[in-house]
Chain A
Amino acid sequence: MISPVLAHGQALRQLITVEFKNTAIKDAFKELNSLAGVKFVYSPKDLDENKKVSGKFVEKSAASVIDFLLSGQNVTYSVKDNTIIIRKVTQSKQQPIQQRSITGQVLDESGKPLGNVTVKTNTGSHEAVTDDSGNFNIAVVANDTQLHFSLLGYSQSQISLTGQTTYIVHMNGAQQDLEEVVVVGYGIQKKVNLTGSVSAIGGEELSKRLVGQTSMALQGALPGVTITQRSGQPGADAGGIRIRGIGTLNNANPLVLIDGVEGSMENIDPLTIESISVLKDAASSSIYGSRAANGVILITTKRMSGKGFTINYSGYGGVQSPTDLRDMVNAQDHMSLMNIAYENTGASPVFDQDRVRDYANLHAADPDNNPDVDWQDLVYTESGFTQNHTATINAGMDRIKLMGSFGYYSQKGLIKNTDFDRYSLRLNTDIDLTEKLSLRTDVMLRQMTRDEPGSSVASVIQWLNRLPATEPALYTTGLYGHGWQGNNPLAMTMASGFIEQVTPSVQLNLGANYKITDKINVDVAYAPHIYEEHYRRLQSALPTYYPDGSVAYSIPEQTMLIHKNTRFHKGNVRATIHYDDRFNDHGIQLLGGWHQEDYSERWFQGSRRGFDLPGYEVLDAGSREEQQATGAGSDWALRSFFGRANYDFKERYLFEANLRVDGSSRFAPGHKWGIFPSFSAGWRISEEPFWEPVRDKLPEFKFRTSWGQLGNQNIGTYPFDAFVDLDVPYIFNANPYNGAALLAMANNQITWETTEMTNFGVDFRFLNNFQMTFDYYVKNTRDILLTLDVPKIIGLAAPYQNAGKVRNKGWELALSYANQVNDFSYNFGFNLSDVKNKIIDLKGINNTGLTVNHEGYAMNSILALEAMGFFTSQEQLDNHAQQYGNYALGDIMYKDQLTVDTDGDGIPNEADGIINDDDKVIVGNTIPRFTFGFTTNLSWKNFDFHMMLQGVGKADGYLYSQSVMPFYLGGTAQEAHKDYWREDNQNATFPRLAFNEPNNENHSTFWMRNAAYLRVKNIQVGYTLPQSVLNKIGVHKLRIFASGQNLFSFDSFWDGFDVEAPVGTGNYYPQVRNFSVGLDLNF
């Protein structure tokens, strides 16, 4: 008899439905064998195999059925692979005195009871299995010193016997646990039966990374998922997520579903996450049709299963510091270098030369009139205290199971008066109304608050990066200096009022599941989500002063308050019907469903200026003069029908087909509906009979392939028509009048953007502890909705067109290895992926700018001149092509590209002798390639260690303007800029200083840097206090840990800037490194 080899730990945990009516146990065993693939080995002497049993089990674990069958017989059993070995409970009558009984309970890491755990003494003398509530009772003899606990899918655990008679034991899910069953669209699937490409990560791994925004916990964790963090600002530090490259020039964010409902992955308490699945290929994600083109992320929150009651608390606190800050020149250097920059252009020096020479003395004698300010030091003063507290209650009763969680997260900024906090409350309840009908009522309440100074963090940072050390910040009198024309970032952080964004949210996820028969069930769900954004900005009149105490400026002149309120409503209704059956070797699963979702947004805003009474920060307290009120809103809706069919033969040949039909309000009538099919197949070669000889070594080996189509409709709400804007007023006779104007072109022909993806994959397992997954894919996106540049003489903003074609080709590799040697257990995970992005077609329209989309190149490529070093001789100046402005020795020399076709063959073969836009070529690619992550988990006795390395193998970064160019638009310079070109410093890093000369400020390869990096993203060290200590204080488990995020980076990017800095001017809130300590506690 051939029975399928089940994955490690699968046998006892799989859910089966079976009914016995006066069945002999041996016949029941046969039925179980065909249903669950378990074999039974026993001696008829130990077990009454003809005993008749009756009972009915619906979706119960195989273990509980076996327990039922064996109840009342004096036997115990152990499991080896898929074989149940039944033995009589041995009672040693020879040594009755030395034997005693030990009881206890086994819990998982979240405190839920674990059934079916095998408990063994270290001598092997006795063995027992825990019941549904995790309780065990085992006999031990004198030379037993330890109990060993094992449950497939969990790490082995042991306790030392200390003389007590009761123990609480915790077991941690092993890496394989999650991989056994994976959450897929509208259901779950056995990992071994997957034919699509899905990566998953468990809640435990996520919880090791102490981040406020869930996206950052995913960085480097999964192959094919690229996360880039562009800012460290509290509440705005989420990463951008790209799955398998960028397939669209529009919104390339993946679809995120939390328990089946679209939402933001940020700001869900990471500790309430059970698992995250990323659906990467078309086969796995096409069930989400028109929203799946950028990939789908499924987040499943924790629920209670089993019985029992536990309380967990998890918390940490820590501090932050910037990963990198720029080092600006002091006042004297600023002035003398600036003067050089002026004189080099032929202009008169801007600072008095005598004063520059004497500045050190002048500053010492009178710092108010001769400031020397380190703005970075003065503004980045805070340690950014961060804390997180999550309390979870799990309660499981006969028919009601609930998981309640309350979380508080708070993060202060590096700048005063910037912070973020979040309260979240989740209550997931499952109710079995009848045998057939069960209900889910999930409630999620959340409120986030983000604060920043009234003049905004962006403007504080812009000014602090720009201000020279010569401008006064704070006088000895305590008054704020005028900084730059009244812009003083220190005063802005301290006294410019506030911006406060409060976002309360209420979400329900209500569902009912009805089992029509054992094989068919219907599920309906309704998930309304209402959230609001209360935005208040009080921009205080901020006076700044001259040294003599007189007011220099006030920006703004009058205090202004803006109060904006936006209310969002999302409706979400869906119904699915599942059919699941197996006839001998044939397995069939069918899914059909209907889903509709709508969104509406309404906002209004009021503002007043002139608040005479300080402290009254409501609109009513302001002056009625020039009060303003504005408001508007928007809606969209989506309706879908979908279905899926799975078929397998002996779980050896696997087939799946999906179809989704989506209708969207974003398109014109006649173009609203899109159809998105997919097909996939798998071949588990390891299930073939000929595999037998190597099955010991290679128990699992599978080939997968898939093809499918996906859509994208993230293109604005009403792109299909042009609308007349009513917000274009003008003044006549000192009165305002409303106007109307058409601002954008319409294109009612536009339709879905379609992504077609083909995927090939291999999964295999070597022995039991090494696993590998490899995928190769080609992802073609066509009909990309683009706003191609159109002639500006049209006078209207460009319309969307179905114009582009983009190809992403890539591969992904994931390796993991886990093992245990005595008390030392360890596992390693490594993933590496690459994607090559290429624009195939853009209707011949290549846009211009710094990051561009050109046919034949990757999206967001860098378009710039090729720098050829500096001009070092007059001869070069004379003979080289004409460049920009008044260029001279020490300026950057650019390559004069071949742009003129003189021989008429259509290929340019000569240069035109002038450096201009025609000489700009694609020089760099900003899409990260060879992204990788490496995870290490070690544990030894009560100690555990976690480390995560993460990085990018290839990417180009680019900074310009005041970030790296000295004195850009009158700004200041950095220490590094002192290494500028001059006659006696020809090997300089930077070109000649030349104020406002355009030559060196043109975009060129000179300012581009390699943005590859390796980062020690996270290290965590934990220690679990021994049970003997905890029992005295009534605690089940207590673990303390210390953790660091973003600890070190290795890169060759511009000094002073984080390597993940966005292409741009460097005015971003610095990324942070943080150190935390915390504890996990179970009662």
Chain B
Amino acid sequence: MKRIIYISLFTGLIGFSSSCSDYLEKYPIDKPGSSTFLKSEVELDLAVVGAYQRLWNGYGGYSLPFEIMLDCTTDIAWERADASWQALGNGKVDPNNWVIGNVWTSMYDGIQRCNFIIENVDRIENITNQMRVDHSVAQARFLRAYWYHHLIEMFGGVPLVTTLLDLETAYVGRDSKEDIYDFILDELEACSDILPDSYTESKDIGKATKGTALALKSTVALYAGRWDVSADAAKRVMDAGVYQLESNYENLYIKSKQDVSKEIIFQISFLAGTRNHSFPGGVTTRMARGYSSKVPNQALIDSYLCTDGLSIDESPLYNPQKPFDNRDPRMNVTCVVPGDVFGGYQFETHKDSTQCWNYNASPATRVANQDATNPYATFSGYVWKKYTDMEDPDYLNRSNTAFLLLRYGEVLLNYAEAKIEANQIDQSVYDAINAIRDRANMPDIDDGLSQAQLRTIVRQERKIELALEGKRLYDIRRWKIAEDVLRGNLLGRIERGLLANAPEIDENGNPHYDNVTNRSSMRVIEVRLFNQRNYLWPIPQIEINVNRNIKQNPGY
């Protein structure tokens, strides 16, 4: 009897096991499958947010987007803490550099998120708001164009991928830079037809608009040397009346002002608790508890004009003993220079200033000056101030301040440069430049300047106006001046003194120190190499290894 019981128990167990046939069917409890995704407008909204999310990259140890780091690879700035970023600036980059690998990968990730939307949008059933769907797809096309624009400026021609790839179709070669320019410009034009001037729903504010597409178009066309296209796109932004310059340059970099700014066209947003950044902690003065690890260098400081609109080698207002007086006010918005007060401390980087004033105490006290004594205080003698909004809560390491990607000021400069290069110089060119100068409380430029004179002015103006906004690298590359400004010693201040006399400023607004009598006392921060190969970064080694159809850039 018992035997029967046990045998039936045993067989019962086996029977039980075979009966529940879904025992081996397990799926994630937190993720939908990809084959069915994008079936509804709700899912489309999610996918669009997911595409924007790729604007966040983590670089420089402080969750910084690469756009904010890009200036460290140019002649106006330097990164102390990361050798891979240094290598991009000093020409020693090799194809295994992690930064380029990361940039490449994250941009193609973003592009494919856009392709997923563009390719699968017809899966959506029962559309209730066709216009919103159209806007979403246009935003995906805009973002894709945005990333391609960076890829080609960094690497030259890259594979132009506009569909989802699989393991069979992924082994494609590089398209030419010119073809991709065509693609980007066509796409942006198409987007500008679809996208609205602005959004009304809160959840959409910050997404790409008609103006965003046109602003980017003017930038990309300028880089492509297609002057008419650039000027035309810029003009359409200017005529739309949606955007206008901030009255105060500084407002662009203050969190509370950014939220209501009519100048900002496209930005990377942050919000503590979801995503914040530590840019202020990374760059500000040692006394204000920053690490001074990304710094503007002497060449940027010396590029600021005097308040009379003349460069320091020409202006009578320039006093080598008081080199920071009478200078373009944007210098003090962009950089902290010796003599400034930052975070309530006197900022001084003269090595003998072992003490400084602490104005946070009342009355002010003298305290040990970390900006002079700490060996890892700023190597150049200057630090960044842009984007270090101290009103931001817990501003050092959990900043919400947005980084600007496109703004109206840049559109004006695009317009001016495109018109100048096309030699279509008219009053609108002067108006555009003077609008920028006026806002900065700098005098208007003279009338009746030659194309070459205007070119000097617009290049100088871009350098100053857009410093630390990720535009400089592409500018010095397309102007073919990288070989002049990225070779040789990267200089910081004289550690125990000042320049004896002003350096010579060339026609592109760049200082040269051969004539400075005490130039040998200037701090050599690093010695930079620049070869022709450095006009492009190398394609990441892993891509070369995997895909034999992709050829490396010359010299790597």
Residues of A near any B CB (own CB < 8 A): 345-348, 350-352, 369, 436-437, 470, 485-486, 514, 516, 522, 524, 546-548, 550, 552-553, 556-558, 573, 575, 577, 594, 596, 598, 625-626, 628, 632-639, 663-666, 669, 672, 717-718, 721-726, 728-743, 745-746, 789-796, 799, 801, 845-848, 884-886, 916-917, 969-970, 996-998
**Cβ A639 vs Cβ B30 within 8 A:** no
* Chain B residues whose C-beta falls within 8 Å of the C-beta of A594 in the assembled complex: 13-14, 17
| Residue with the greatest number of chain A CB neighbours at <10 A, chosen from B31, B86, B112, B289 | B31
Of B21-29, B236-244, B404-412, the one contacting chain A is B21-29
Chain B residues contacting A847 (CB-CB under 8 Å) are 542, 545
Lowest 10 CB-CB distances: which A-B pairs, in order?
Answer: A795-B112, A739-B49, A741-B50, A739-B50, A723-B31, A626-B273, A740-B46, A346-B527, A885-B92, A733-B205
Which residues of A lie under 8 Å from residue B556 when comparing CB positions? 916
User: Given A347-B524, A557-B394, A724-B37 in contact, is the A884-B49 Cβ separation under 8 Å?
Assistant: no
Q: How far is the CA of A243 from the CA of B291 in the complex (A)?
A: 49
- State A558–B398 Cα separation when bound (angstroms): 11
Contacting residues, chain B, for A886 (C-beta < 8 A): 92, 527, 529
Beta-carbon contacts under 8 Å, B100-119 to A: 101, 104-105, 108-113, 115-116
Contacts of A575 in B (CB 8 A): 10, 13-14
B430 at the interface (CB under 8 A from A): no
When chains A and B are docked, how far (Å) is the Cα of A789 from the Cα of B427? 56
List 9 A-B residue pairs with CB atoms under 8 Å apart, sorted by A's residue number.
Answer: A348-B495, A633-B29, A721-B35, A739-B53, A745-B166, A793-B108, A793-B547, A969-B81, A996-B83
Starting from the known contacts A637-B24, A969-B83, 16 additional A-B residue pairs (CB-CB under 8 Å) come to A348-B524, A485-B291, A522-B7, A524-B13, A552-B289, A573-B17, A575-B14, A634-B28, A724-B37, A726-B32, A732-B203, A737-B49, A795-B108, A795-B113, A847-B545, A848-B542
What separation, in Å, do the CA atoms of A789 and B41 have in the docked complex? 34
A571 and B375 CA atoms in complex are apart in Å by 60
Task: Give the CA-CA distance A846 to B95 in the complex, in Å.
Answer: 16
Interface bits B326-358 vs A (CB < 8 Å: 1, else 0): 000000000000000000000000010000000
Closest chain A residue to B521, Cβ basis: A348
Residues of A close to B166: CB separation below 8 A: 745, 794
CB distance from A560 to the nearest CB of B (A): 11
Contacts of B529 in A (CB 8 A): 885-886
Contact B31 A724 (CB under 8 A): yes
> How far is A797 from B348 in the complex, measured between Cα atoms in Å?
48
How near does chain B come to A529, taking the closest CB pair, in angstroms?
A: 18
B35 proximity list for chain A (CB < 8 A): 721, 746
Asked if B13 contacts A721 (CB within 8 A), the reply is no
Minimal beta-carbon separation of A746 from chain B (angstroms): 6
Cβ of B6 under 8 Å from chain A: yes
- Give residues of chain B (45-74) contacting chain A, Cβ–Cβ below 8 Å: 46-56
B367 near A550 with CB under 8 A, answer: yes
| CA A418 to CA B82, docked complex, whole Å | 31
- Chain B residue at minimum C-beta to C-beta distance from A553: B289
Q: Which residues does chain A contribute within 8 Å of B275, judged by CB atoms?
A: 729, 731
In the complex, A741→B53 CA distance in Å? 9
The answer to whether A546 touches B370, judged by C-beta atoms less than 8 angstroms apart, is yes
In the bound assembly, the distance between CA atoms of A743 and B106 in angstroms comes to 11
CB distance from B113 to the nearest CB of A (A): 5
- Chain A, residue nearest B36 (CB): A724
Q: Is B2 part of the contact surface with A, judged by Cβ < 8 Å? A: yes
- Asked if residues B32 and A790 are in contact (CB atoms below 8 Å), the reply is no
Flag if A547 contacts B546 (CB, 8 Å): no
Say yes or no: A665 contacts B375, CB within 8 Å: no
CA distance A731 to B403 in the complex (A): 13
A347 to B207, CA, bound (A): 45
For B178, list chain A residues within 8 Å (CB). none
Provide the residues of chain A in CB contact with B351, threshold 8 Å: 352
A737 CA / B269 CA spacing, docked (Å): 12
B24 pairs with A741, CB closer than 8 A: no
Pairwise interchain contact B206-A733, C-beta atoms closer than 8 A: yes
Question: Do B167 and A737 touch (CB < 8 A)?
Answer: no
Chain B positions within 8 Å of A672 at CB level: 24
Task: From known contacts A637-B26, A792-B105, infer whether A740 and B49 are also in contact, taking CB-CB under 8 Å.
Answer: yes
Query: In the complex the two chains form, is A729's CB within 8 Å of B49's CB?
Result: yes
Q: CB distance B368 to A546 under 8 Å?
A: yes
Residues B47 and A730 in contact, CB atoms below 8 Å apart: no
Give the most central of A351, A573, A996: most B CB within 10 Å: A996
Tell yes or no: B422 within 8 A of A by CB: no
- Give chain A nearest CB distance to B352 CB in angstroms: 10
Separation in Å of the A347 CB from the closest CB of chain B?
5
**A731-B274, A739-B46 given; A789·B13 CB < 8 A:** no
A742 to B37, Cβ gap below 8 A? Answer: yes
Q: Which residues of B contact A636 (CB under 8 A)?
A: 26
Instruction: Please tell me which one of the listed residues A516, A739, A845 contacts residue B546 in the complex, with CB atoms under 8 A apart.
Output: A845
* Contact present for A742 and B375 (CB under 8 Å): no
Choice from A717, A729, A738, A996 contacting B26 with Cβ under 8 Å:
A717
Q: Does A730 contact B10, Cβ atoms closer than 8 Å?
A: no
* The residue from A598, A665, A722, A791 contacting B170, defined by CB atoms under 8 A apart: A791
B500 at the interface (CB under 8 A from A): no
Most A CB contacts (10 A, CB to CB) among B274, B291, B495 go to B274
- Most A CB atoms within 10 A — which of B10, B54, B104? B10
Is A730 in contact with B55, judged by CB distance below 8 angstroms? yes
Q: Which residues of A contact B245 (CB under 8 A)?
A: none
Which residue of A735, A738, A996 contacts B526 across the interface (Cβ within 8 Å)? Answer: A996
Judge whether B31 and A792 touch: CB under 8 Å.
no
B191-221 vs A, Cβ < 8 Å mask (1 yes, 0 no): 0000000000011111100000000000000
Structural contact, B10 and A348, CB atoms closer than 8 A? no
Output the least CB separation between B11 and chain A (Å): 9
Contacting pair A557 B396 (CB below 8 A):
yes
Q: How far is the CA of A996 from the CA of B87 in the complex (A)?
A: 9
Q: Are A524 and B9 in contact (CB under 8 A)?
A: yes
B425 at interface by CB-CB < 8 Å? no
Looking at the complex, which one of A628, A729, A795, A917 makes contact with B109 (CB distance below 8 Å)? A795
Contact A791 B375 (CB under 8 A): no
- For residue B434, CB closer than 8 A to chain A, the reply is no
| Interface pair B55/A794, CB less than 8 Å apart | no
**Given A723-B34, A916-B94, A969-B83, A573–B13 Cβ distance below 8 Å?**
yes
Chain B residues in 8 Å Cβ range of A737: 49, 203
**B274 contacts which of A486, A736, A742, A970 (Cβ < 8 Å)?**
A736
Interface: B259 (CB within 8 A): yes
Judging by beta carbons under 8 Å apart, are A726 and B53 in contact? Answer: no
**Complex contacts, A998 vs chain B, CB 8 Å:** 83, 87, 92, 94
Q: Is the CB of A793 within 8 A of B170?
A: yes
Beyond A546-B368, A552-B289, A998-B83, whether A790 also contacts B203 by CB under 8 A is no
B395 shortest CB reach to chain A, Å: 10
Could you tell me if B31 and A725 are in contact, using CB atoms closer than 8 angstroms? yes
Select B525's contact among A347, A369, A885, beta carbons within 8 Å.
A347
Chain A residues whose C-beta falls within 8 Å of the C-beta of B376 in the assembled complex: 350, 485, 970
Q: What chain B residues lie within 8 Å of A486 (beta carbons)?
A: 289
Which single residue of chain A is at the shortest CB-CB distance from B90? A885
- By the criterion CB–CB under 8 Å, are A723 and B10 in contact? no
The 8 A CB mask of B349-387 against A (1 = contact, 0 = none) is 001000000000000000110100001100000000000
The residue on A at minimum CB distance from B48 is A739
- Per the bound structure, the CA–CA distance linking A969 and B79 in Å amounts to 12
Indicate if the CB atoms of B95 and A728 lie closer than 8 Å: no
Which residues from chain A contact B526 at a C-beta distance below 8 Å?
Answer: 345-347, 996
- Enumerate chain B residues within 8 angstroms of A577, measured Cβ to Cβ: 10
Q: Is the CB of A793 within 8 A of B207?
A: no
Closest Cβ–Cβ distance, residue B193 to chain A (whole Å): 23
B127 at the interface (CB under 8 A from A): no
Interface residue? B161 (CB, 8 A): yes
Q: Is B397 within 8 A of A348, CB to CB?
A: no
B2 touches A436 (CB 8 A): yes
- Rounded to whole angstroms, the CA-CA distance of A594 and B172 in the bound complex is 50
CB distance from A891 to the nearest CB of B (A): 13
Which residue in chain A gives the minimum CB-CB distance to B351?
A: A352
How many angstroms between the C-alpha atoms of A799 and B166 in the bound complex?
10
